Homo-oligomer: A and B are copies of this chain.
Amino acid sequence: MHRALPVPVSVDAIAERLGGTVSGDGDRRIARLASLDAAGADAVSFLSGRRHARSARASGAAALIVSPALQDEAPEGAARILVDDPYVAYARLSQWFEALLAPVQGPASIDPGARVDTGARLGAGVAVGPGASIAAGARIGDGCRIGAGCAVGEGASIGAGSILHPNVVVYAGVTIGARAVVHAGTVIGADGFGFAPSRAGFVKIAQLGSVRIGDDVEIGANCAIDRGALDDTEIADGVKIDNLVQVGHNVRIGAHTVIAGCVGIAGSATIGARCMIGGGVGISGHIEICDGAIIGGFSLVERSVDEPGFYTGAWPLQPHVQWERTAATLKQLPRLRQRLRGLEARSGEPKDSE
């Protein structure tokens, strides 16, 4: 659990911040935001749905953020902060607590151990960490924080208010919008994977395109987002990408799409807006996924998805011995179907409409 706020806040102050109303003791002092199970007498928690009602009633929380419909599920004696959407309220409150917990920082500064090229343009209030390098022609917007060990290439552009955590690499010419968060170790703009086979071996296709990333995009740790071959790789506004995700060259990802960890997206795939891509999914190259599609974790999308909906494809876990048997039988599946047909024909079964 996070450490206590240096100066606790009142239930009333939290409610005011969230635009909610208080039922109970608004003067109680709150020093932590905690899950229902972990919350103690100095903590506020939240109830986001009926299936957590039992945990809510048993919680030791001093205050509960809850919707009017579920307010009777609060633990006895706890103050209630009534809001329309407790989960969104929790998200907002987490941001406030994070700010209250942050160490007081001096004015933003360029670490003496950073190397900022004289040809780079930095906005107001930019912080650059030790060991970071910013090349000629790069533009860093107001209030950006460039972490230790980051490398920003020539002519790259990063919008105002963006945060690069340590050791992020932004290749030359890449464009990132405002308020981006890029976690440590992520690489944006490496060469797409393109080689022309010839008798003399593979000939590298220089990747002349770049990467263009919109506003309010968050990218997790150790991802790899490749630059385009001729056109650009594009990630639209509001996209959220988890850790260890590969985005191939010339991929396009629509606005507000969410991509979980360990996903691999092959070159020139197009993913619509407001999609949800589960963890470990593979997306083949040159296909399209329409707006609003949901892909279950660990699935391979090898053809275009034209209709919104929830799609999945993954072998269900089995005891290993059973799996061996099932896998062996699977290989005979087309033959089994033929045999079934043969039996049906002999038994005078009406022909199946397959």
Residues of A within 8 A of B (CB): 1-2, 33-35, 38, 85, 87-88, 90-92, 94-95, 97-98, 101, 103, 111, 113, 115, 129-133, 136-137, 147-149, 151, 154, 165-167, 169, 171, 181, 183-187, 190-191, 193-198, 201-210, 216, 218, 220-224, 226, 229-232, 238, 240, 242-244, 246, 248, 256, 258, 260-262, 264, 266, 279-280, 282, 284, 294-303, 305, 309-337, 339-340, 342-344, 346-347, 349, 352, 354
Contact = CB atoms under 8 A, between A and B. Distances in A.
A133 B133 contact: no
Given A264-B280, A343-B349, A230 B185 contact: no
A266 B240 contact: no
Contacts of A226: 220-221, 243
Contacts of A224: 183, 185, 220-222, 243-244, 261
A298 B300 contact: yes
A171 to B, nearest CB: 7
Given A208-B2, A333-B329, A246 B246 contact: no
Given A169-B165, A224-B243, A343 B342 contact: no
A2 B330 CA distance: 45
